[in-house]
Homo-oligomer: A and B are copies of this chain.
Amino acid sequence: MIAAEREMEPKMSNKATTVLEAHPMNGGDGTYSYTKNSYYQREAANVAQTLIGDVIAMKLDINEFASSSTNAFCIADLGCSVGPNTFVSVENILEAIKHKYRSECMSSQTREFQVFFNDHAGNDFNTLFAKFPPTRNYFAAGVPGSFHGRLFPKSSLHVVHSSYATHWLSKVPEELTDKNSPAWNKGKIHYTTAPEEVVNAYAAQFTKDMAAFLEARAQELVVGGMMILILPAVPTGIPHSRVPNGVMFDFMGSILIDMAKEGVISEAEVDSFNLPVYTTSPKEMGELVERNGRFHIEQMESTSPWLEIKHSNSDYGKTLSMSLRAGMEGVLRSHFGSEITNQLFNRLCDQSGQLTRQLQESCCREGTQLFVALKRI
């Protein structure tokens, strides 16, 4: 192949030059697996199920896709992890679409559906594939790779869904670990109570990542196609220190600092670690979509899954720390190693009563989740 042609070829994601950080959820189905410890993510998704059904019923125009009616109706779940939540979401979306066909007296009977399950290449796809619902009525495929780059051909998807995934950053902003930068995040692992420069560095990275995400999806979705995003959020104007994510990450940070004080790890190890996650606000998200310019906001709504969760359950704190472990263990282990990470989560489990109290006392439980439905224009 001649060099000029190569340059003209479509750029695929995940080339050697664009390797992004990947921190998959815990694989397999053991004690600490995401499969067995994704209760909170499921609760959060449940709150969104009705919204998804409604927005598809009211805003998705299936007539726009009629011209390509011989082709399959294609759906992608981005950041699907290992199940089972992804299967519940996909089933819900499919039912809403089929209901739509019925309500418009169109036949969905001859229409075939293809669902793409995406996550990082390091995700445990073997476990995901082993758990595919045996009675599913769709063709299924796994797509490994970062959703911050292109994953699918142009105009090949009709609906994109992503729940609790787009708050993961593609990388930790470099200045956070640069001692000479005003954004050096000493003694912290997140931005909750950090100086403004740290918050700004996180926000700038999220802006870049969301821009790349929206640009890639704008190319992959057909015109009229819909994208539904569910992600943790901070109500506009509320400080990060008062939302559940802020409280939980701060709590984990304080355990690591205790471990540094006890000499179990060094201060430098804590200083050089930062969680690559960011909690956006409705205002910020709206601005990023506007700036991209290729989507119309059909619905943007704050929801409150934390009001639904049974906080009175005596196992609540423990369930919560197991859930945090399933989601966060990978990123911590790659920095601190297995032994320290085990110790961190054992301490978190022991102190889960205290975490529960902090969440109950200081926490703003309303509007901590954002439901966004966009239409490709």
Contacting residues, chain B, for A12 (C-beta < 8 A): 136-139
Report the Cα distance A259→B110, complex, angstroms.
55
Which residue from B14, B139, B143, B153 sits with its C-beta under 8 Å from A71? B153
A156 within 8 A of B: yes
- When all copies of this chain in the complex are counted, the total is 2
B143 touches A140 (CB 8 A): yes
A142 within 8 A of B: yes
Which residue from B6, B109, B129, B152 sits with its C-beta under 8 Å from A139? B152
Chain B nearest CB, measured from A136 CB (Å): 6
B140 touches A15 (CB 8 A): no
Closest partner residue, chain B, to A137 (CB atom): B9
Which residue from B95, B141, B151 sits with its C-beta under 8 Å from A143? B141
Closest partner residue, chain B, to A125 (CB atom): B125
Contacting residues, chain B, for A70 (C-beta < 8 A): 154-155
Report the Cα distance A6→B102, complex, angstroms.
13
Which residue from B19, B130, B144 sits with its C-beta under 8 Å from A129? B144
Within 8 A of B (CB), among A108-129: 109-110, 112-114, 116, 121-122, 124-126, 129
Sample (22) of A-B pairs whose CB atoms are under 8 Å apart: A6-B137, A9-B137, A12-B137, A12-B139, A15-B134, A15-B135, A16-B135, A19-B134, A71-B156, A72-B153, A72-B156, A113-B153, A116-B141, A121-B129, A121-B132, A125-B142, A126-B126, A139-B143, A139-B150, A141-B142, A142-B143, A142-B144
